[in-house]
Chains A and B, each alone.
Chain A
Amino acid sequence: MISSSIIGSARSKAGAFEAAKLTLPVFFAFFPLGIALGLLVHEYHLPVYMGFLMSFFIYAGSSEFVVASMLAASESLAEIAIAGLVINFRHIFYGLSVFDVIPKKGFKRFYSIATLSDETYALFLALRGEDRRYATLIAFLNHAYWFLSVTLGLILAKSFSLSFPGVEFCLPALFIVLTIEQYKSLKKISPFIFALASSLVAFLFFKEQFLVVSIALSSLLMLSIKPKGKK
Chain B
Amino acid sequence: MTAYYLSAIAILCLINISLRSLPFWLPKRLIEHPRMAVLSAYLPPAIMLSLVLYCFSGEFQKNEGVYPFLFASAFVVLLHTLKGNVLLSIAGGTLCYCLFKAWA
Contact = CB atoms under 8 A, between A and B. Distances in A.
A129 interface: no
Q: Size class of A's contact patch?
A: 35 or more
A181 interface: yes
Interface in B45-104: 45-58, 61, 69, 72-73, 76-77, 80-81, 86-87, 89-91, 93-94, 97-98, 100-102
- The size class of the interface chain B forms with chain A is 35 or more
Contacts of B15: 81, 84-85, 88
Nearest to A97: B23
Nearest to A109: B24
B97 A222 contact: no
Given A179-B45, A229-B34, A84 B23 contact: no
Interface in A94-118: 94-96, 99, 102, 113-114, 116
A140 interface: no
A62 B43 contact: no
Contacts of A59: 16
B12 A57 contact: yes
Given A93-B23, A113-B24, A219-B39, A170 B53 contact: no
* 7 shortest interchain CB distances as A-B pairs: A227-B34, A95-B23, A166-B98, A182-B45, A169-B97, A172-B55, A173-B93
Interface of A: 29, 32-33, 36, 46-47, 50, 53-54, 57-60, 62-63, 66-67, 69, 71, 74, 77, 80-81, 84-96, 99, 102, 113-114, 116, 164-167, 169-183, 186, 188, 190-192, 194-196, 198-199, 202-203, 207, 210-211, 214-215, 218-219, 222-223, 225, 227-229, 231
